[in-house]
Amino acid sequence: MDAPVRIQTPLSEHGVMQLKMGDRVLLNGTIFTARDAAHKRLIELIHQGKDLPFDLRGNIIYYVGPAPPKPGMALGSAGPTSSYRMDPYTPALLDRGLKGMIGKGQRGPEVVHSMQTNRAVYFAATGGAGALLSMAIKASQTIAYEDLGPEAIRRLTVVDLPVIVVNDCHGNDLYTIGRRQFEITA
Amino acid sequence: MAIREIDTALITRTVKQLCIEATTVLNPDVLEAYAQGLAQEVSPQGKDVFKQLIDNARIARQESISLCQDAGMAVVFIEIGQDVHFAGLDLTAAVNEGVRQGYADGFLRPSTLDPISRENYGDNTPAIVHLDMGPGNQVRIHVLPKGFGGENMSRVVLFHPGAGLEGVREFVINRVREAGANPCPPVIVGVGIGGNFEKCALIAKKSLLRPVGQRHPDAVIAKLEQEFLRDINRTGIGPQGLGGRITALAVHIETYPTHIGSLPVAVNLQCHSHRCKSAVL
Ligand code: SF4
């Protein structure tokens, strides 16, 4: 396994094309949080032709509903939630310039296809390693939907957030290929 | 035996304490399962995951922060000796008060909401409370904060008897296979065989109270546990579904007598973040 590569957000199209399935990445810069309820509202805004609370272009959404911070911390425990629940909303966001997503678990075929045509990447962070991942989050600001509590949209500043490329924009999927590689048949 | 009176304020304090401990400090059996998993895993990305889990457990304990952002719904099993009398708040209210205080003071995420309006209650109540009566004058409390990555991937099926053990095996393995990375493998697979619709689900969940990897005392069931574990670990799913040999840390099976016309089976998946603490009063 190669050493992890450091990447700065936002992501450029060129940057996305360099990323390959299985690459370990340390993310740096700004990312945004959103889960099911926030996604639903973003899609409603798109349907109404209204502006979104943040510019999707080049940006990364982290599927996380963090724990509240203890005093002195930017955010509490903050690991990924299952991504499949965001699948119905995702292609519309990718069409509007979203370049990356961080979650856990396999994406549906429409999302994978949309990632190829829009040149975007899907990272996994280690599910259940919320305490470890929270150490990489240096600042957090709620920018929309405060009423959703843990599901509000937050702008996070991260330093060396450890993730791995599951779906690159060339159509490769680590969940499928990794499983096949280690499966024991007969 | 004389009736022993227990003030339910003690239940509240105990549940509060167990919620905080369970969500921040893993039990030695879980840590031992990680260490063995790291030693046995052959995939580099799988080994990397185990290292992160070990680091995560250390950070959560040192900083007293939630191991996972999903501190779950608080599943509380209470075994009550029948010579106990409770005074004060009613028992369920006392448990919920303990959950409310524990989740607030522990900086744990409130995840419960109204299923229709989807409005978050903000305090992670109510708990899911299971009461059992037995002999004696003690009260045993188990707190299992259960995340929903694993719950969402869990299933109940009522087979016809002809499906047999082969049907059960196939169902269990396929459940883990289809769940993939969603329940945060390496998982602990709780299996309930027998009973009826709700009983098989309940015993599947109860099987998770056993120390990780402790075999069932019945040799026939223990053998099934080993075989299911072997088969699950041949799927290649691996830690976090990234490919590897350690997809499950353990399979725990519980059984209950069932009806001539049915073969109920439940699979309750538990993530690697197996948080469980107990106390005896
Ligand atoms: S499945 Fe478990 S470890 Fe994974 S996010 Fe949910 S609670 Fe956390």
Shortest CA distance from B150: residue in chain A: A82
Cβ-contact B243, A164 below 8 angstroms: no
Ordered by where they begin, the domains of chain B are: 4-24+67-146 (3.30.360), 149-274 (3.30.1330)
The torsion angles phi and psi of B12, rounded to 5 degrees, stand at: -60, -50
At residue A17, the pLDDT reads: 95
A109/B contact by beta carbon, under 8 A: no
Taking 80 as the threshold, does the pLDDT of residue A1 lie above it? no
| Residue A142, helix vs strand vs coil | strand
Q: Give the burial class of A173: count Cβ atoms within 10 A of its Cβ; 0-12 exposed, 13-18 middle, 19 or more buried.
A: middle
Q: What is the pLDDT of residues B151-164, one digit of tens each?
A: 999 999 999 999 99
Provide the annotated active-site residues of A. Answer: 39
Q: Give the burial class of B122: count Cβ atoms within 10 A of its Cβ; 0-12 exposed, 13-18 middle, 19 or more buried.
A: middle
B69 CB neighbours in chain A (<8 A) are 64-67, 76-79, 130, 150
State what percent of residues in chain B have pLDDT above 70: 100
Q: How confident is the model at residue B246 (pLDDT cuts 50, 70, 90)?
A: very high
Shortest CA distance from A130: residue in chain B: B68
Contacts of B121 (CB under 8 A, 6+ apart): B110, B112, B113, B114
Taking 80 as the threshold, does the pLDDT of residue A171 lie above it? yes
- ∠ at Cα B10 (B6, B13), nearest 5°? 165
CATH architecture of A5-182: Alpha-Beta Barrel (3.20)
Helix axes B28-40, B44-63, angle to 10 degrees: 160
Q: What is the pLDDT of residues B101-116, one digit of tens each?
A: 999 999 999 999 999 9
Q: What is the pLDDT of residues A90-116, one digit of tens each?
A: 999 999 999 999 999 999 999 999 999
Predicted model pTM: 0.95
Q: What is the pLDDT of residues B161-205, one digit of tens each?
A: 999 999 999 999 999 999 999 999 999 999 999 999 999 999 999
